[in-house]
A and B are shown apart, each in its own frame.
Chain A
Amino acid sequence: MSNRTNGQTAPVADVQLPHVNIDDLIVCLKYYVDEENAHIRIKDLAICAACDPKPCLAFCPAHVFETDRHGRMMVGYQACIECGSCRVACPFRNVDWRLPRGGHGVAYKYG
């Protein structure tokens, strides 16, 4: 457990996780989407193509990362809740991550 290399994945034994439709969770959030400005970009799509475990498909709490029919990485930055996980957890540092412009992005009502 301790000497992990980044990008290696291992299942947790005997655990069945319930399926969650993330869209149902995201709809209750308020966003002020910056249509002209994506604050998250993939630096190099070829790196994603070669990234075997693609952990971002799982750990991103808003499921912003998604592959299209051809396996190409797509980033739905509009749903991002700005946690910052992909910035530090992409094993190849392949995510260009910025803060959205002031006033844009998610706005919690409860937090």
Chain B
Amino acid sequence: MTGRLTFDAIVVGAGPAGVAAALTMARGGLNVIIIERGRFAGAKNLFGGVFYTHALADVLPDYWERKPPFERPVTEQGYWMLSPDSAIRVMHKSERYLKEPADAYTVLRARFDPWFAEQAAAAGALLITRTTVTQLLKDERGRVIGVDTDRPEGKVYAPVVIIAEGVNNLLTQQAGLIASDLPPKYVALAVKEYINLPAKDLQIRFGLSGPREGVAIDVFGDVTLGLPGTGFIYTDQSGISIGVGMLLDEFVTHRLRPYEVLERFKHHPVVRPYLEGGEVREYGAHLIPEMGYDRMPKLAGDGVMVAGDAAGMVDALHREGTNLAITAGKMAGETALAAHQAGDFSAAFLSRYRRNLEGTFVLQDMKQYRRMTDFLESSPQFMGTYVNLLNEAALRYFTAHGIPKRTMEHDILKMVRERRSFTGVAWDMLKLMRAMRG
């Protein structure tokens, strides 16, 4: 037998969290391997599509010169609140979004992730694709000392392993960092289509002056049949990313087929004109962890850390996840560097990873929205009732009926009262405030 294959650090998964960790460690002089099960980094990954550049700039200050494969800068963004036949649109457009590099871009993961992984490889990390990590290797005291893969003689050793496996957290469970699977009420299932459209049509429909402008729309209300959840429409270079997501439990309880919910959204009278003539080029689905701050796994154990979706680092309210993953990956990487310096890979030493993260937006935002999932679950009327109500109120408000305005206002209030008692409204608002204030 030849000697065992040993590295300074192993990263499982070449998503944003894993690549950021590997990049940080390679830059710091460690001998790092990233193991990815897809045929290439990003082959298995799908998201809605808004990528925030701040976290990237933090790990890769010169990223702009490296020409990341972004789709369009987000220069207009906001919400559509759909009732079955109407929409209230609250969009924000500003000259201040028009700068390069922008704060946010739409992105297609199968294009972005390989580029990001290449930057880590250029920094010296070894990227191994088409290889699934099947198991964590532990010593007799239970410390993680490496991983086993589905390759023949596929064991790889390192004093520290960073798990960045995404939402299906099998290894995180194996590491003993989380007790069990996420129950379906703490995980959202999203389906998405990528629809091809000539850039020219797209720009006319969304009112964009050219390829340097793009729109990100989050949609509430009728898009999810009034159930808690959201839809999205994002403009890519010559296509549209459109999708819908709801807690998995909702699909189970209501026996809904996710692709039919999406199809219904695409047929909504307000949405359909935007998609006219477009061709569906790809369909896919992915889970989003929504367990919230209080149910996050432990972030470190002996010889192991976990970052990104595997650790539940998603801010569902602001559709953020890739940026949390990158920042956490970077901090896990920095902690591994420090551990090498100290020669200490114990859970006690690696726990500084969490302490450092407490000082960033990652854990602070997670903490602030810790009640959000429970809020939505306990207030299912929030989406449906209120969004429909707003639409009907708007219809009355904007239509001249030949009745005095005071009567119109009175009608709207009466409508509200019929749908939900005033104490009910007050209670909902209070709960929403609490959920948002943390």
Residues of A whose CB lies within 8 Å of any CB of B are 1-2, 4, 6-12, 15, 17-20, 22, 25-26, 28-29, 32, 53, 55, 58-59, 61-63, 81-85, 87-89, 91, 99-103, 105-111
Whether B253 contacts A111 by the Cβ 8 Å rule is: no
Q: In chain B, residues 246-269, which have Cβ atoms closer than 8 Å to a Cβ of chain A? A: 248-249, 251-261, 263-264, 267
A109 to B222, CA, bound (A): 30
Counting CB contacts under 8 A, is B47 at the interface? yes
B108 near A88 with CB under 8 A, answer no
Say whether B252 contacts A59, CB under 8 Å.
yes
Q: Complex Cα distance A51/B287, Å?
A: 24
Stretch at the interface among B183-191, B330-338, B404-412: B183-191
Measured between beta carbons, the chain A residues less than 8 angstroms from B260 are: 17-20
Number of residues in B with C-beta < 8 Å to the partner?
Answer: 66
Selected from B113, B132, B189, the residue in CB contact (under 8 A) with A85 is: B189
Contact A9 B248 (CB under 8 A): no
Contact B257 A20 (CB under 8 A): yes
Main secondary structure of the interface of A (DSSP, over half): loop
> Any chain A CB within 8 A of the CB of B167?
yes
Scan B191-230; emit 1 where CB is below 8 A from any A CB, else 0. 1011000000000000000000000000000000111000
A89 with B168: CB separation less than 8 A: no
Cβ of A58: which chain B residues have Cβ within 8 Å of it? Answer: 251-252, 255-257
Q: Taking the nearest CB of chain A, how far is it from the CB of B287, in angstroms?
A: 5
Residue on A nearest B286 in the bound complex, by CB: A83
- List B residues at the A interface (Cβ < 8 Å): 37-40, 42-47, 108-111, 113, 129-132, 149-151, 167-168, 170, 181-185, 187, 189, 191, 193-194, 225-227, 239, 248-249, 251-261, 263-264, 267, 280-287, 377-378, 380
Contact A10 B45 (CB under 8 A): no
The residue on A at minimum CB distance from B37 is A102
- Report chain A residues within 8 Å CB of B46: 108, 111
A-B residue pairs in contact (CB < 8 Å), sample of 28: A1-B378, A2-B377, A4-B253, A11-B255, A12-B225, A17-B256, A18-B264, A20-B257, A55-B255, A59-B248, A59-B252, A61-B189, A84-B167, A85-B251, A89-B248, A103-B39, A103-B129, A103-B130, A105-B44, A107-B39, A108-B42, A108-B46, A110-B109, A110-B194, A110-B239, A111-B42, A111-B109, A111-B282
Query: B184 and A88: CB pair below 8 A?
Result: yes
> In the complex, what residue of chain A is closest to B186 when comparing beta carbons?
A88
A12 touches B254 (CB 8 A): yes
List, in ascending order, chain B residues with CB within 8 A of A22's CB: 259
Q: Which residue of the partner chain, among A9, A11, A87, contacts B252 with CB atoms under 8 Å? A: A9
Looking at the assembled complex, report how far the CB atom of A94 sits from the nearest CB atom of chain B, in whole angstroms: 14
Leading 7 A-B pairs by shortest Cβ distance: A103-B130, A111-B109, A61-B285, A111-B110, A25-B283, A59-B251, A17-B260
- Residues from chain B with a CB closer than 8 A to the CB of A81 are 284-285
The minimal Cβ–Cβ distance linking A89 to chain B, given in whole angstroms, is 4
User: In the complex, A87→B255 CA distance in Å?
Assistant: 17
Assembly CA distance A1 to B190 (angstroms): 20
Q: Determine the chain B residues whose CB is within 8 A of the CB of A108 once the complex forms.
A: 42-46, 109-110, 282, 284
Q: Which residues of A contact B253 (CB under 8 A)?
A: 4, 8-10
Query: Once the chains bind, are A107 and B38 in contact (CB under 8 Å)?
Result: yes
Q: List 9 additional contacts besides A25-B283, A89-B248; criterion CB under 8 Å.
A: A6-B252, A9-B252, A28-B282, A53-B255, A62-B285, A89-B251, A89-B252, A108-B43, A110-B109
Residues of B within 8 A of A2 (CB): 377-378
Known A-B contacts A12-B227, A28-B282, A59-B248; A87 and B254 likewise in contact (beta carbons under 8 Å) = no
